[in-house]
Structure formats: C-alpha cells, structure tokens
Structure 1
Amino acid sequence: MGLQDVKNDILQEARNQASQLEEEAEEEADKILKEAENKAEEIKKEAEKQVEEEKEAERQKTVSSARMEAREKKLEAKQDKLQEVFETFEEELRDLDEDERSEFVEKSIEDAEFEVSKIEASEDFANAIDGRKYDLEEIESLDGFVIVSENGERRKNFSVSKIVDSYEDKYRQKVAEKLFEDES
C-alpha cells in the first residue's frame, strides 16, 4: 500500500466519520427541535389554560358584582318602600281632623303616668285642648303637643316627628316583615 492509498484511506475514514458526525448532529438537532416544539406546545397549553382560568375568574367576579349590585338595589328599594310607609303614617298624623286630635289628646292624658297640669301645643292641637282644665301654652315650632307634670319635672312629647321616630324605631322590623313577607 502506497502513500496515496493510505492518504485515500485516511480521507475516506475522515469522510465516513464526518458523515457519521453529520448524521448524529442532524439526529441531535431533530431531537432538540422536537423537544423545543413539545416544550412550546406545553407552554402554549399552559398559557391557554391560564387565560381560561383568568377569564373564568373575571366572569365569576363580574357575576358576583352584578349579584351584589342587584341585592343592594333590592335592599334600597325595600328601604325606600319602608320609608314611604312611615312618611304616609306621618302625613296621616298631620291630617287628623279636629275630633281625632281631641281624642288623641284625651287618650294621651289618660295614659300619662303622672298628673298633667300643663300642655304645650302647636296651633293645630291647641284647638283640641282649648277649654280643658290644663294650662295651655301655644308653641308655633311644635308639630304636636307635650304634656307636662305640675312640677315640670316630667314631660311626655307627642310631637308628630317624635311619634313617627318612636314608631319607626319600635316597629320598623315588624312593618318590614309584613311588607315583604311574600319575598321570604
């Protein structure tokens, strides 16, 4: 074997090794590319899943917010209706006729837990009290009447606003239950 044959054998061996290395490199590149594609697909799926979860969370938040707003509006409407009832009650108290006012004053005096000697009253109620055995003081700013004991230490206020406030405090829950009993 001559030098040329050895040289050709070495070149052939080098070509074979280069070809083999090239094949291995291509296989490795294909493997890396496949892994990258798989990883990209996993990332894409995870991102889509996260987007869907975020969309669902946002939808739930929107639904929850809408429900809360609806409850608030319903509660507000109930409060308005309840307030309307007490405003109607107040109007009816203010619109009592002379006989009803007189009867109201008489009943209030009877129910007092003290001896009444003086009555302070608005003009509307002063007429219902006038001519009775009590000292009468007409007070323009009063919207009802106040009964006072002889020594002035005990007083009972029957002004319309005081009566309405008292009834609202005492009966608000019962009125609400009655008004909205069909909604339970």
Structure 2
Amino acid sequence: MSLDNVVSDIRDEAHARAEEIRKEGERRAEEIIEAAETDAEELLDAREEKVERQIEQEREQALSSAKLEAKQERLEARRDVLQDVRARVEEELRTLPEGKREELTRTLLEEAAAEFDGGESVAVYGRADDADLLEDLVAEHDGVEYGGEHDCLGGVVVDSDDSRVRVNNTFDSVLDDVWEDNLKDVSGILFDQ
C-alpha cells in the first residue's frame, strides 16, 4: 500500500469520524433544545398557573371587601333610619298635646312619689316648659315641692335629700327603656327581617 493510499484512508477515516462527531453533536444539540423547550413550557405553565391563582385570590379578596363594605353601608343606613325614627319619637314627646302631657306626667309623678316615705321632703324637677303643670301636680301631694328645671323631654325627676334617693321618670328614661327593649322588633318592622 502506498503512502497516498494510507493518507487517503486516514483522510476518509477522519472525514467519517468528523461526520459521526457532527451528527452526534447535532443529535445532542437537538436533545438539549428539546429539553430546554420542555423546561420552558413547564415553567410557562407553572407561571400561568401561579398568575391564575393570584388573580383568583385577588378577585376573592376584592369580592369579600366589596361585600363587607356593602354590609357596613347597609348597617349605617339602618342606623341612620333608626336615629331618624328615634328623633321623630322624641319630637312627638316634646310636642304632646297638653291633656296627654298632663296625664303622662301625673302618672310618672305618682309612680316616682310612691318610692318615698310619707315623711320625707321630696323635690320634683322637670322640663322648663312644664313648670306650671309640675307646680299644679306637686300641690296635690304633701311634702312634695317643685325643685326646678331638668333638661328632658318631659316627665319628672324626683329626689329627696333625706333618703338620698333619686327616681328618674322622665319621658327620656322611659323612651330609653322602651327603645332598648323593642329595638329588635322596630328593626324587624322597618327592615322586613
């Protein structure tokens, strides 16, 4: 075999080996690209899933916040309506007809006076506009005198220095008790609960 043949054989083997290395490199490159594409798709899917979860969570939070805000606004509106109703009741009490005012004040004074012993000196206080009425009513009771003004819608506050007892039978105190006892029913009527 001649030297040219040997060189030619070596060259052919080198070309064949180079072709094998090139094909192996291409195959390996395709595997790497394919793995990278798969990893990229998985990463994209994971990110999309994470974003969708975050969007759903933010939507739920926004919905929950909106529901809470609506509930608070509803409660505020109800409170405003109840305050308006209470203000109307107070105005009705403030402007009771004279006969009805006298009847209620007489009853409240008699109930309060019953809390004291007959020998005690008792003072009766009431609304400034009711001074004449109160003076007439206390004249009907022994040991009871008109003591002056008390800031209220009507009714009486009766007290005695002898026993240090004070009875608040004002329209305000009666309204407070009735309001507290019936607030749930009033709310039910007003708001169809």
- TM range, smaller chain: 0.7 to 0.9
1:179 Cα deviation from its structure 2 partner? 2.3
- Counterpart position of 1:173: 184
- Counterpart position of 1:121: 126
- Counterpart position of 2:102: 102
Alignment check: 8 A CA contact 1:102 1:128 kept: yes
Alignment check: 8 A CA contact 1:98 1:128 kept: no
Alignment check: 8 A CA contact 1:86 1:164 kept: no
- Counterpart position of 1:130: 135
Post-superposition Cα deviations, 1:137-159, rounded to whole Å, max 9, x if no partner, equal 222x5223312348352221234
CA distance in 2, matches of 1:41, 1:150: 91
CA distance in 2, matches of 1:175, 1:149: 37
Structure 2 counterparts to residues 30-179 of structure 1, below 5 A: 30-112=30-112, 113-115=114-116, 117-131=122-136, 132-133=139-140, 134-139=144-149, 141-143=150-152, 144=154, 145-149=156-160, 151-179=162-190
Alignment check: 8 A CA contact 2:135 2:145 kept: no
CA distance in 2, matches of 1:151, 1:164: 29
The 1:175–1:156 alpha-carbon spacing in structure 2 relative to 1, beyond 3 Å, is: same
Instruction: Give the AA of the match of 2:130.
Output: F
1:66 Cα deviation from its structure 2 partner? 1.0
Alignment check: 8 A CA contact 1:101 1:128 kept: no
1:175 Cα deviation from its structure 2 partner? 2.0
CA distance in 2, matches of 1:160, 1:62: 47
The CA RMSD over aligned residues, in Å, is: 2.1
Instruction: Give the AA of the match of 1:168.
Output: W
> Secondary structure of the equivalent of 1:157?
strand
Q: How many residues align?
A: 181
TM-score (structure 2 length as normaliser): 0.83
1:73 Cα deviation from its structure 2 partner? 0.8
CA distance in 2, matches of 1:146, 1:114: 12
Among the aligned pairs, what percent are the same residue?
32
1:81 Cα deviation from its structure 2 partner? 1.1
CA distance in 1, matches of 2:109, 2:33: 100
The 1:150–1:13 alpha-carbon spacing in structure 2 relative to 1, beyond 3 Å, is: closer
> Secondary structure of the equivalent of 1:43?
helix
Structure 1, gaps ≥5 residues long: none
Post-superposition Cα deviations, 1:69-113, rounded to whole Å, max 9, x if no partner, equal 111111111111111121111111111222222111211123234
1:160 Cα deviation from its structure 2 partner? 4.4
Instruction: Give the AA of the match of 2:102.
Output: S
TM-score (structure 1 length as normaliser): 0.86
